[in-house]
Amino acid sequence: MQRILVTGGAGFLGSFMCERLVAEGHDVICLDNFFTSQKTNVAHLLGKPNFELIRHDITLPIFLEVDQVYNMGCPAAPGHYQYNPIKTMKTSVMGAINMLGLAKRCGARILQASTSEVYGDPEEHPQTESYRGNVNPIGPRACYDEGKRAAETLFMDYHRMNKVDVRIVRIFNTYGPRMHPYDGRVVSNFIRQALQNEDITIFGDGQQTRSFCFRDDLVDAIIRMMNNTDGFVGPVNIGNQGEFTIRELAELVIELTGSKSKLIQQPLPADDPTRRKPDITLATKHLGWTPTTPLRDGLAKTIDWFQSIDLNDYRPPTP
């Protein structure tokens, strides 16, 4: 049994991570400032003796005694991270420094939730971890992409200089129950629109691609990486290799929901990556992991969840 800190623990992925770790019997501290999440995501864990919730912003230091840290606190959807880009950069960079300092003091192992966005609009396809990326450092996505790149740098420097036991995972587009219904991401938008028979908003011509990983597969890989002991610290790509155009995704959501929605086109946002697909050779080799949930099955579970919630319980992010 370990004492485990999960920053961003009330979020879409963090809350499922907490749920898994609590079920495994660990002592879990969930730390969150609730910028893009709500307490309802972890309400079912509050009565458990091995779960604790702290409202805290990781841009500020905190003193806790733990064995492991999953650093997942950061707005992740474009609409969320562009809401206050300076705060996004601070969260990535100062959050990493504070959490690495905590890990160094406690001798804890620390994992960084990095992102496929470190590859920007990739010129290499599929993307391997050795690809250095094509990020626009001054564009509207830079606060997130460059913040996450800087956090990776800090993780590797604390590892080399201070011998902090680090892990880095690069997460590709992940979806599932508890994603914020108004986060503006493509899966949440399309399901919400389809269930309400509203127009489905395709940005650009819909020929851009993404590879969508189901939440449960992703969290499984992250926990494996945290507990990996073969000396591999990453970065490691975690994602599903199935590659779909955004138009294909829209058509699948319409089919699965039986919706009457029509597809409409809207302008493509600046710097929107054209293609994205992970090479997961390293994850398979070091973690014995491959995702097992096909998009169709994962979407069906996500649609069920969207049908079970009251959209009025969710609000857009606030300062």
One of 144, 158, 175, 182 is an active-site residue; which one? 144
Q: Could you give the 3-state DSSP secondary structure of residue 203?
A: strand
- Burial call 105-133: b when 16+ CB within 10 Å, e when fewer: ebebbbbbbbbbbbbbbbeeebbebebeb
277 touches ligand UDP (CB under 6 A):
no
Restricting to residues 197-256, name those near ligand UDP by CB under 6 A. 201-203, 208, 210, 246
273 touches ligand NAD (CB under 6 A):
no
User: Per CB under 6 A, which region of 30-38, 96-104, 151-159, 274-282 contacts ligand NAD?
Assistant: 30-38
Residue 140 CB coordination number (10 Å) = 14
User: Per CB under 6 A, which region of 71-79, 154-162, 227-235, 307-315 contacts ligand NAD?
Assistant: 71-79
CB 83 within 8 A of CB 183: no
Q: In the 8-state DSSP scheme, what is residue 161?
A: H
259 touches ligand UDP (CB under 6 A):
no
Site size toward ligand UDP, by CB under 6 A: 14
Residues β-bridged to residue 263:
200
Distance separating alpha carbons of residues 188 and 305, to the nearest angstrom: 11
What tokens does 153 get? 């740098």
Tell me which of 68, 91, 193, 302 binds ligand NAD, using CB under 6 A.
Answer: 91
Q: Which is nearer to ligand NAD, 212 or 261 (CB)?
A: 212
4 touches ligand NAD (CB under 6 A):
no
Q: Which is nearer to ligand NAD, 109 or 180 (CB)?
A: 180
CA dihedral 274, 140, 250, 207 (to 10 degrees): -20
CA distances from 31 to 16, 93, 157, 169 (A): 14, 17, 24, 20
DSSP characters over 249-267? HHHHHHHHHT----EEEEP
Tell me which of 8, 78, 176, 234 binds ligand UDP, using CB under 6 A.
Answer: 78
Tell me which of 4, 5, 6, 13 binds ligand NAD, using CB under 6 A.
Answer: 13
Which of 199, 184, 170 minimizes the C-alpha distance to 77? 184
Instruction: Tell me the closest approach of the beta carbon of residue 288 to ligand NAD, in angstroms.
Output: 22
Distance separating alpha carbons of residues 84 and 92, to the nearest angstrom: 13
Restricting to residues 171-190, name those near ligand UDP by CB under 6 A. 173, 185-186, 189
Tell me which of 4, 30, 108, 113 binds ligand NAD, using CB under 6 A.
Answer: 113
CB 35 within 8 A of CB 75: yes
Active site residue 144: yes
CB 212 within 8 A of CB 185: no
Print the binding letters for residues 243-272 with ligand NAD: x by CB under 6 A, - otherwise. ------------------------------
Q: Which is nearer to ligand NAD, 217 or 259 (CB)?
A: 217
Tell me which of 4, 6, 19, 35 binds ligand NAD, using CB under 6 A.
Answer: 35
Instruction: Tell me the closest approach of the beta carbon of residue 264 to ligand UDP, in angstroms.
Output: 10
Residues β-bridged to residue 203:
266
Name the residues that contact ligand UDP, by CB under 6 A: 78, 173, 185-186, 189, 201-203, 208, 210, 246, 268-269, 272
Name the residues that contact ligand NAD, by CB under 6 A: 7-8, 10-14, 32-37, 57-59, 72-76, 80, 91, 95, 113, 115, 171, 173-174, 180
Catalytic residues: 144
